Amino acid sequence: MRVLKKDYWKRFPQWADVSKWDWEDWKWQIRNRIRSLSQLEEILGIDLSHLKKVEKVFRTGTTPYYLSLVKDLSDLNNPILKQILPSCKEIDPQIQAEGSFDPFKEEVMSPVKGLTHRYPDRVLFRVTTFCSVYCRHCMRKRIFLEEERANRYEEYIRMIEYIRNNPIIKEVLISGGDPLTLPNRKLEFILEHLSRIEHVKIIRIGTRELVVNPYRFFDDGLLELLDRCDKLWIVTHFNHPDEVTDVVKKAVRNILSTGTPVLNQTVLLKGINDDPYIIEDLMRNLLQVKIKPYYLFYCDPTKGVMHFRTDIKRGIEILEHLRGKVSGMGIPVYAVDLPGGLGKVPLTPDYVLEETKEYLLLKSPEGKTVKINRLNFDIIDNHTKEQEDLCL
């Protein structure tokens, strides 16, 4: 976990006079977002004019808090900065040729505007196109092209009615944009109506505010709402250990005090976290602040995002590294979300090397091969890969 220094934001001349009271106000963070490359240029002291053509296609945006996590402002390869700074690769027709703005058919599988019904028992409930930070790897990058707007109440009502009339639906994922950028009164309306539907057993809020604006969870009004909704889970999105700070720890403590569990989904991103030691540190940091690692996703085939994709086997290699080094609590499910709305497929290392009626030949996390009796699991033979090589 990263401990931030007192008044850490004051190293930026633009925020040197900002009080602790203002800085820790989630609404101040949103009101004072960096919304353009010109603002980023001023803060970073770097010429970004070559990226202006990207901004004409995909908007720019970040909170002061999230930008303040960048350790070296001159390092354009900083993992925080790479998640918010536009890249010419986003609009390169060759790099992005195989991408789609809606690879999972969310708009096609939408019986009601704003609601996607991909899985029989679950629906995606999109409440806004607004985010306080526009992540360059966003799987809904199409919203960068849209007007920033929250849905109207009548739109929420139509989505809620669809859910109420379909008893097969057991779980609702509230997403956006970022739903926790909504004012509390709108969140209250949505949560209260969904909570009253008896066949809805679980409500998830998918949010990155815990990462980019954790002060949202210092708001007593929001915490009261969370406390009243006992069906609720928070699913957040940390990608790098530098994002897990003592401010986040305090925010998570506030969430847990309401009885709301917190899970994390990480996306495997080239040049940001596609390293087993970075992911190991991230998983440990998440557990330290009591966030349960949930998914490690292979980067989605979204247009504008394709340059972040790694080899799909990289995630399996990372899982192999984690197994035996991190407790089971800290090992996420590595998964690829299939295009066309076909669903998520878990990808795992193959620990079964050979199988017969009499025995199993297994690979241990330490790289040993172990032959065990299939019936009683007694060890028949136990030798390392290095010993095998010597025998050969």
Q: Answer whether 47's CB lies under 8 Å from 77's CB.
A: no
Task: Judge whether 303 counts as a catalytic residue.
Answer: no
Task: Judge whether 138 counts as a catalytic residue.
Answer: yes
Quickly list H helices, 232-307: 246-256, 276-288
CA 88, 86, 47 angle in degrees (round to 5)?
A: 85
Task: Catalytic residue, from 300, 303, 309, 334: name it.
Answer: 300
The closest alpha carbon to 364, from 388, 379, 384, belongs to 384
Residue 167, sorted as left (phi over 0), alpha (psi -120 to 50) or beta, turns out to be alpha
The closest alpha carbon to 99, from 154, 137, 70, belongs to 137
Residue 190, sorted as left (phi over 0), alpha (psi -120 to 50) or beta, turns out to be alpha
Report the alpha-carbon distance of residue 182 to residue 177 in Å, rounded: 10
Task: Judge whether 118 counts as a catalytic residue.
Answer: yes
Task: Judge whether 391 counts as a catalytic residue.
Answer: no
Task: Catalytic residue, from 33, 82, 102, 131: name it.
Answer: 131
Task: Catalytic residue, from 89, 250, 344, 363: name it.
Answer: 344
Helix-strand-coil split of the chain, %, nearest 5:
40, 20, 40
Task: Catalytic residue, from 2, 22, 119, 250: name it.
Answer: 119
| Amino acid sitting at position 38 | S
Tokens at 11, concatenated: 């190293």
Task: Judge whether 135 counts as a catalytic residue.
Answer: yes
The closest alpha carbon to 141, from 89, 184, 73, belongs to 89
Task: Judge whether 344 counts as a catalytic residue.
Answer: yes
Task: Catalytic residue, from 2, 89, 122, 284: name it.
Answer: 122
Task: Catalytic residue, from 33, 102, 126, 135: name it.
Answer: 135
Task: Catalytic residue, from 102, 216, 337, 371: name it.
Answer: 337
Report the alpha-carbon distance of residue 348 to residue 365 in Å, rounded: 13
Task: Catalytic residue, from 134, 138, 141, 229: name it.
Answer: 138
Task: Catalytic residue, from 140, 141, 208, 309: name it.
Answer: 140
Task: Judge whether 131 counts as a catalytic residue.
Answer: yes
Task: Catalytic residue, from 25, 33, 102, 118: name it.
Answer: 118
- Residues labelled as active-site residues: 118-119, 122, 131, 135, 138, 140, 300, 337, 344
